């Protein structure tokens, strides 16, 4: 168990190292980071001064060592737009993004799992068709478009929800629903197929043949086994929501990290983009470790396996 | 004995009427209705891309400010010569949707082609050679797969700038790890399988094993994966376009159209509505097709049907 987690944490540290390398070289893909970050009509003198200030005129390995040691202590340099350290600006936006992702995940779970369970118990029924249709739609509707359409109908036409911002308690509902819809669909599919598979397993037949009540069978045997695949998917999806809310945050003017990313790209503020990329990756990697932990707690096969 | 003969004879005697044939084909289509529908939807998109000039009534770039923001034909102020209306510059939305299939399919097709080839090579090497090579390749694959995908795609696109080639390369490279992972898993499974073992013991050379025994068995799962990934790329391309990070703004693409329509959401909602519907149509068709292909090509993953 401990060995398993030490190995996982070791892997994550390696991944983090990879992320920092990647993020360092990504702004150098075009060869000249200065021309990437400066406006096109900057004079050669301004460019030279910028290179000097950012240290882009030093050898690459010196720049990398500098960036790497900085990244380890959370120093990504100053944001070009705000002229202040980049990481605190990102951290400031974290609560909004987390709130959006948590509410989105809750919506997806509270609708998706029951629909999947009902569909799995009664395949072919009306509720099963609804669930599967919703799953297919969740997979196929572009979320940036759905966000626009929802604003048009529920905010502009009907006036039920605010169309942007984070000032009211119900501001979160529309963006969270849009963010959660693909996950909702996945949960329906996964829960349904897990129920179908477990229902026909030998141990369920044994439970029936020894005369257990169906209620007990579902509670003790089916649900527990359905929970195992769900945990890992929920973990992965939560990470995806934290890092994938850029469209939704920018459309709903939700003041989270995704909106900051969109703004930073518009400002060509790449130190800030780098900080967002590394920080979000750290959060997602940490989440993966927690998911594995939860997985091992639920599923003894992993705890005791090699 | 006599009875059996008469039955066989009468069976042979019965002439298949058109109604019988219809019923037979009807049953056939009904069983695979999802796949058939998906295939038809996909063919519509492919057809539009190939015959764009013949289908679209206008040049997709032709501006006509006098007729700008004209609503779709079924509105009171709409006209049938612009069935889906016109955008803010008076360009015909229907023609632009039709031409938009070209960008989407080009990105999807070449993106998947590059990702598939890179992934196939990486996965086959990792799976067949194993050992240290395997751990290095899979280390890189796991790094990329554990990152917040959308964030990094947006990041690279912002660095490289807007062009069709860049978008194809970004998707082709960032998506290859998924193909590598699936290929490796399949190769590992096939290498241990009875028929490869017997081919080895019969003295088959390794190119023969790879080309005759392993590759043909890889095609099924890879085609299924390619369908889903192509749908995902079309989706993400539109998303990048929406953020202004895909093909240049002058190119008629669904993402660019959405980005333009967003500004006129409340006054002229149809500008953003139709490209979104087009993305959804394509995505839905490809997901249906992918689900069906998975059932047909990979018996191990066959969906539980009732």
| Chain B residues closer than 8 Å to A29 by CB | 156, 159-160
- Tell me which DSSP letter residue B180 carries: H
| Chain B residues closer than 8 Å to A146 by CB | 276
- Tell me which DSSP letter residue A25 carries: H
Pick the more confident residue, B271 or B2.
B271
Q: What are the φ/ψ torsions at residue B250 (nearest 5 degrees)?
A: -75, -20
What are the helix (H) ranges across chain B? Answer: 2-13, 18-31, 33-50, 52-55, 93-129, 131-146, 149-160, 164-174, 176-191, 194-201, 206-208, 215-242, 254-262, 270-297
For A:154-183, CB contacts with B below 8 A are: 156
- Tell me which DSSP letter residue B65 carries: G
Q: What are the φ/ψ torsions at residue B86 (nearest 5 degrees)?
A: -130, 160
In terms of residues, how long is chain B? 306
A151 to chain B, closest Cα gap in Å: 9
A156-173 per-position pLDDT tens digit? 778 787 777 777 777 788
B13 to chain A, closest Cα gap in Å: 38
Q: Would the CB atoms of A142 and B150 count as touching at under 8 Å?
A: no
- pTM metric for this prediction: 0.84
Contacts of A234 (CB under 8 A, 6+ apart): A105, A109, A183, A187, A291
Domain B41-305 fold is: MetI-like fold (1.10.3720)
pLDDT of residue B2: 47
> Which two structure tokens, joined as six digits, stand for A62?
């010196």
Q: What are the φ/ψ torsions at residue A30 (nearest 5 degrees)?
A: -85, -5
Number of neighbours of residue A10 by Cβ within 10 angstroms: 10
| Chain A residues closer than 8 Å to B279 by CB | 142, 145
Contacts of A102 (CB under 8 A, 6+ apart): none
Q: Would the CB atoms of B150 and A244 count as touching at under 8 Å?
A: yes
What are the extents of the domains in chain B? 2-28, 41-305
> Which two structure tokens, joined as six digits, stand for B250?
């002058």
- Tell me which DSSP letter residue A5 carries: H
pLDDT(B11) > 60: no
> Which two structure tokens, joined as six digits, stand for A184?
């909702």
Beta bridge partners of B86: B92
| Chain B residues closer than 8 Å to A252 by CB | none
Q: Would the CB atoms of B303 and A193 count as touching at under 8 Å?
A: yes
**Chain B interface mutation, best of A20, A140, A198, A252, highest count of B Cβ atoms under 10 Å:** A140
Confidence of residue A105 (pLDDT cuts 50, 70, 90): very high
Confidence of residue B87 (pLDDT cuts 50, 70, 90): confident
Rg (CA), chain B: 25
In terms of CA atoms, which chain A residue is nearest residue B141? A15
pLDDT of residue B306: 31
pLDDT of residue A101: 92
B237-253 per-position pLDDT tens digit? 999 998 888 888 888 89
Q: Are B100 and B45 in contact (CB under 8 A)?
A: no
What's the mean per-residue pLDDT of chain A?
Answer: 85
Q: Would the CB atoms of B284 and A19 count as touching at under 8 Å?
A: no
Q: Are A57 and A51 in contact (CB under 8 A)?
A: yes
CA angle B207, B208, B213 (to 5 degrees): 115
In terms of CA atoms, which chain A residue is nearest residue B284? A140
**Which of B147, B150, B284 comes nearest A281 by C-beta?**
B147
Q: How far apart are CA B202 and CA B204, in angstroms?
A: 6
pLDDT(A62) > 70: yes
Q: How far apart are CA A248 and CA A276, in angstroms?
A: 17
Secondary structure (3-state) at B130: coil
Give the CA distances from residue A198 to residues A225, A235, B200, in Å, rounded to whole numbers and listed in that order: 7, 22, 38
Q: Would the CB atoms of A30 and B269 count as touching at under 8 Å?
A: no
B113-131 per-position pLDDT tens digit? 999 999 999 998 898 888 8
Nearest to B100 by CA among B260, B222, B227, B217: B260
- Does the model's ipTM exceed the 0.95 cut? no
| Chain A residues closer than 8 Å to B272 by CB | 145, 148
Contacts of A68 (CB under 8 A, 6+ apart): A20, A24
pLDDT of residue B140: 86
A175-216 per-position pLDDT tens digit? 999 999 989 998 998 999 888 888 888 888 888 888 888 888
| Chain B residues closer than 8 Å to A139 by CB | 283, 287
pLDDT of residue B118: 94
Contacts of A57 (CB under 8 A, 6+ apart): A51
B125-176 per-position pLDDT tens digit? 898 888 888 888 988 888 888 888 888 898 888 888 888 999 999 999 999 9
Q: How far apart are CA A200 and CA A222, in angstroms?
A: 10
Q: How far apart are CA A237 and CA A106, in angstroms?
A: 12
> Which two structure tokens, joined as six digits, stand for B253?
């693409």
What are the helix (H) ranges across chain A? Answer: 2-26, 33-37, 44-54, 60-72, 86-121, 126-140, 143-150, 173-199, 202-209, 214-216, 223-243, 246-251, 257-266, 270-298, 300-304
Give the CA distances from residue B289 to residues B137, B181, B228, in Å, rounded to whole numbers and listed in that order: 31, 22, 9
For A:188-227, CB contacts with B below 8 A are: 193, 196-197, 200
Nearest to A285 by CA among A17, A62, A72: A17
Name all domains of chain A by residue range, CATH numbers in brackets. 2-72 (no CATH), 89-305 (1.10.3720.10)
């Amino acid at each position: 168990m401990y060995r398993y987690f030490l190995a996982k944490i070791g892997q994550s540290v390696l991944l983090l190292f990879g992320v920092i390398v990647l993020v360092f070289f990504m702004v150098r893909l075009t060869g000249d980071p200065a021309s990437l970050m400066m406006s096109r009509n900057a004079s050669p003198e301004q460019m030279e001064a910028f290179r000097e200030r950012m240290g882009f005129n030093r050898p690459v390995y010196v720049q990398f060592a500098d960036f790497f040691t900085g990244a380890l202590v959370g120093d990504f340099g100053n944001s070009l737009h705000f002229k202040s350290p980049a990481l605190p600006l990102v951290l400031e936006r974290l609560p909004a993004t987390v709130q959006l992702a948590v509410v989105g995940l809750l919506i997806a779970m509270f609708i998706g799992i029951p629909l999947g369970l009902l569909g799995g118990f009664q395949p072919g029924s009306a509720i099963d068709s609804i669930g599967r249709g919703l799953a297919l739609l969740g997979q196929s509707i572009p979320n940036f478009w759905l966000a626009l359409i929802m604003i048009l109908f529920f905010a502009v036409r009907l006036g039920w929800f605010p169309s942007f911002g984070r000032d009211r308690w119900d501001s979160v509902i529309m963006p969270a629903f849009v963010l959660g819809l693909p996950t909702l669909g996945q949960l329906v599919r996964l829960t349904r197929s897990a129920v179908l598979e477990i229902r026909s397993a030998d141990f369920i037949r044994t439970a029936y043949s020894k005369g257990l009540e169906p209620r007990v069978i579902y509670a003790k045997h089916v649900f527990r086994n359905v929970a195992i695949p769900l945990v890992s998917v929920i973990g992965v999806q939560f990470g995806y929501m934290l890092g994938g809310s850029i469209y939704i945050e920018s459309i709903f003017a939700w003041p989270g990290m995704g909106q900051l990313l969109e703004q930073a790209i518009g400002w060509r503020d790449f130190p800030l983009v780098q900080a967002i990329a590394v920080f979000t990756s750290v959060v997602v990697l940490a989440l993966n470790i927690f998911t594995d932990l939860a997985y091992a707690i639920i599923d003894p096969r992993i705890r005791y396996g090699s | 004995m006599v009875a059996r003969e008469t039955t066989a004879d009468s069976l042979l005697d019965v002439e298949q009427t058109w109604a019988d044939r219809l019923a037979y084909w009807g049953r056939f289509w009904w069983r695979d209705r999802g796949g058939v529908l998906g295939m038809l939807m996909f063919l519509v998109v492919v057809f539009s891309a190939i015959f764009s000039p013949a289908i679209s009534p206008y040049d997709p770039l032709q501006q006509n400010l006098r007729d700008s923001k004209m609503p779709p034909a079924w509105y009171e102020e709409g006209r049938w010569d612009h069935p889906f209306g016109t955008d803010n510059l008076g360009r015909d939305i229907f023609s632009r949707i039709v031409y938009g299939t070209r960008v989407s399919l080009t990105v999807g097709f070449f993106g998947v082609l590059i990702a598939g080839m890179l992934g196939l090579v990486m996965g086959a090497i990792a799976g067949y050679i194993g050992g240290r090579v395997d751990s290095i390749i899979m280390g890189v694959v796991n790094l990329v797969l554990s990152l917040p995908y959308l964030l990094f795609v947006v990041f690279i696109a912002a660095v490289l700038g807007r062009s069709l080639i860049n978008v194809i390369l970004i998707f082709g490279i960032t998506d290859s790890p998924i193909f590598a992972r699936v290929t490796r898993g399949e190769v590992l499974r096939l290498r241990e399988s009875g028929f490869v073992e017997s081919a080895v013991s019969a003295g088959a050379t390794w190119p023969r094993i790879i080309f005759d025994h392993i590759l043909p068995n890889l095609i099924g799962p890879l085609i299924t994966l390619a369908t889903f990934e192509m749908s995902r790329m079309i989706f993400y391309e539109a998303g990048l376009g929406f953020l202004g990070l895909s093909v240049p703004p002058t190119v008629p693409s669904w993402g660019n159209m959405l980005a333009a329509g967003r500004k006129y959401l409340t006054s002229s909602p149809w500008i953003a509505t139709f490209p979104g519907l087009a993305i959804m149509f394509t995505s839905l068709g490809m997901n249906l097709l992918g689900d069906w292909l998975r059932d047909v090509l990979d018996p191990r993953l066959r969906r539980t049907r009732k």
